Amino acid sequence: MKARTLIAFGLAAAAITGLVAAQGGMKKISIAAFPSLDEAVKIAMPALKKKFPNYEIELVALQYGDHHQALTTALATGQGLHDIEAVEIGFVGKFAEGGGLEDLNKAPYNAKALKAQFVDYTVGQATASDGRYIGLPADIGPGTTFYRKDILDNAGVNASELTSWEGYIAAGKKIQAKNPKIFLINSAASAAGLIWRSNIPAGEGIFFSKDNKVLVGPDSARWVKAFTVAKQIRDAKLDAKIGEWSNEWYEGFKGGTVATQFSGAWLQGHFQNWMAPETKGLWRVQDLPDGAYAPWGGSFYTIPTASKNKKEAWDIIRFLTTDRAQQIAAFKGNGAFPALKAAWSDTSFNEAVPFLGGQKARLLWKAAAQKIKPLDVNKYDSVAQTIVETQLTAVLDEGKDIKAALSEARAEIEKRARR
């Protein structure tokens, strides 16, 4: 009896809420996002309400992986889609190739005119091979090397030594000689991941060439180097064998047991806000080793074809991505590096960053962002990545021969992609 009364009450309550929303003449627009883009949307909420008083904007945040899975399944059947779907840069190429998302080049969006305002590589990344353009960039993550200046100084290492991989490994050895408890990097695999996805000629992908040829293999200098450097780091016992985004990772930063980290510029915001605020003034940044420039995270807003509020969705995402004040607010509040070039002229970009010991780091990131090239994507990228990572683990943990591992990886990827 009680349960039934409650249920009836619940149903009535749900019906009433629905009615009220409809009567108010408010248009309900939903945005699906993932951390920490959801924070940026929250920061923008007051401005959005002011700009669009008739839109009732609802934010749906899921975990990073879950969000993209949910989006995939929703696109598969055209149901459960939100009016605006955020897509991370690692996925945007894949979603661009499939259907289900609006081509923003076309009317009524006509996004062609907007493209020049964004960092170049974001446009290429969100454009499908047939020319459809599916997402406006919310933020970018220019890749950069974070290093603990105090640890380097203490070990007598000059930061410029970190700009080549040989110097980077030598520096790690010096650091460990000085204090065996301090590791050079969280995981050797991080170095490998950086090498295999940087310095890629325009138009080529990480795993596949434009004409679907597998680029992984023992004859690829890029792949051999990625595996070799990781192996050297592991053999010298320079890595802490810690996965990213784990509690151990945070502890490593807090306790000062990890000296460097390759990441997107946004990591500084995480350091400062919660990961290791006590290390203020100890970190510095510089360009990645070997003159590499690589995107490190970044997000896009897309509009599903199944959305019933496309016009409103477009209003919102155009505002979030092309309004200079919005981009600057997200940058200041959330550390989301603007994809909108006009935002870079804000005075804050010339300011010293106190957390980085007064370094004018944003100028460095600005320059790096302009040197990043769009990567060609392939629908088998995530399959290939899993295969490569498995082989890398075999090399690092079991001493498998690098050339053999890369040959096997190529054979496995080819088996998958041939179909």
Partner 1 sequence: MNSQTTIKQEFHFGRFYTRWQRILAPYVFISPFFILFLVFGLFPMLFSIYVSMTSWDAISGLGGMKFVGLDNYRFLFLEDTAFWNSVKQTAYIALISGLPQHLIAIPLAFIIHTGMKKMQAFVTAIYFAPFVTSVAAIAAVFGTLYSERSGVLNWLVLEVFNKIPLLNSIIPDDPIRWLGDRHLVPISISILVIWRYTGWNTVLYLAGLQAISQDLYEAAEVDGASRFERFRYITLPLLRPTMFTAFTFTIIGNMQLFAEPFLLVNTSGGVANSGRTSVMYLWDNAFNNLLFGDAATQTWVLFAIIITLTIINNQIFARLRND
Partner 2 sequence: MQKLTLGNALIYGLILFGGLLMAFPLYFMLVFATQSRETIFSFPPPLVPGSIDQIVSNYNALMKMTDNTFWRVFYNSFYLASMATITTLFFCSLAGFGFAMYDFKGKNALFAVVVATQAIPAALNLIPFYLVMNLIGWINQPRALWFPGMASAFGIFLTRQYIQSAIPRELMDAARVDGSTEFGMFWRIILPLIRPALGTLGLITFIGVWNEFVLQSLIFRSPETRTLQTLIRAISGGTTATNVDYGGLMMGTAITVLPLLIIFIFTSRQLITGLTAGSVKN
The residues that touch partner 2, with contacts defined as CB under 8 A, are 3-4, 6-7, 10, 30, 32, 34-36, 58-66, 70, 73-74, 76-80, 244-245, 247, 250-251, 266, 270, 273-275, 297
Cβ at position 294, least distance to partner 2 in Å: 17
Q: Does 348 bind partner 1 (CB under 8 A)?
A: no
Q: Is 299 left (phi over 0), alpha (psi -120 to 50) or beta?
A: beta
Dist. CA 147–CA 175, nearest whole Å: 12
Q: Tell me the pairing of strands 27-33 and 84-88.
A: parallel
**Tokens linked to 265:** 């510029």
Q: Within 279-338, which residues bind partner 1 (CB under 8 A)?
A: none
What's 25's DSSP letter? Answer: T
CB of 146 to partner 1, least distance (A): 21
User: 4 or 419, CB closer to partner 1?
Assistant: 419
Cβ proximity to partner 2: between 39 and 408 the closer is 39
Residues 250 and 276: beta-carbon distance below 8 Å: yes
How many CA atoms within 13 Å lie on the side-chain side of 389?
12
| Residue 89-118 contact track with partner 1, rule CB under 8 A, x = bound | -----xx--xxx------------------
HEC secondary structure over 259-289: CEEEEECCHHHHHHHHHCHHHCCCEEEECCH
Residue 40's binding partner among partner 2, partner 1, none (Cβ under 5 to 8 angstroms by kind) is none
Cβ–Cβ < 8 Å for 219, 401: no
- Return the residue of 42, 62, 72, 282 that touches partner 1, per CB under 8 A: 72
Q: Segment 205-244, which members bind partner 1 (CB under 8 A)? A: 241-243
Per CB under 8 A, the list member of 332, 397, 399, 403 interacting with partner 1 is 397
Least distance in Å: CB of 398 to partner 1?
Answer: 9
Residue 183 binding target from partner 2, partner 1, none, CB below 5 to 8 Å by type = none
126: its two tokens: 């969100």
Residues 118-157 binding partner 1 (CB under 8 A) are none
Min CB(99)–partner 1 separation in Å: 5
Task: Report what 7 binds from partner 1, partner 2, none; CB cut-off 5-8 Å by kind.
Answer: partner 2
Using the contact rule CB under 8 A, the part of the chain among 191-199, 312-320, 365-373, 375-383 near partner 1 is 375-383
Cα gap 190→20, rounded to integer Å: 51
Give me the residue label for tokens 């995270």: 297
Alpha-carbon span 260 to 242, nearest angstrom = 13
77/158 with CB nearer partner 2? 77
Residue 60 touches which member of partner 1, partner 2, none, C-beta under 5-8 Å by kind: partner 2
One of 390, 399, 401, 404 touching partner 1 (CB under 8 A) = 390
Answer whether 312's CB lies under 8 Å from 320's CB.
no
Token pair of 144 as six digits: 């950069």
**Total number of residues binding partner 1 (CB under 8 A)?**
33
Assess contact for 66 and 91: CB atoms under 8 A: no
> Can you tell me which of 153, 311, 386, 399 binds partner 1, judged by CB under 8 A?
386
* Residue 291 vs residues 169, 194, 197, 302, 368: alpha-carbon distances, Å: 16, 12, 13, 32, 10
- Interacting residue with partner 1 among 248, 290, 315, 323 (CB under 8 A): 248
Query: How remote is the C-alpha of 30 from its chain's centroid?
Result: 22
C-beta of 322: minimal distance to partner 1 in Å? 28
- Report helix, strand or coil for 35: coil
Contacted by 415, from partner 1, partner 2, none: CB < 5 to 8 Å by type: partner 1
Rounded to a whole number of angstroms, the minimum distance from the CB of residue 129 to partner 1 is: 15
Residue 413's H or E segment, with its range, is: helix 402-417
Query: Which residues neighbour 69 within 8 Å (Cβ) at sequence distance 6 or greater?
Result: none
Residue found by looking up tokens 């990228």 in the block: 381
Residues interacting with partner 1, by CB under 8 A? 65, 68-69, 72-73, 75-78, 94-95, 98-100, 241-243, 247-248, 251, 379-380, 382-383, 386-387, 390, 393-394, 397, 412, 415, 419
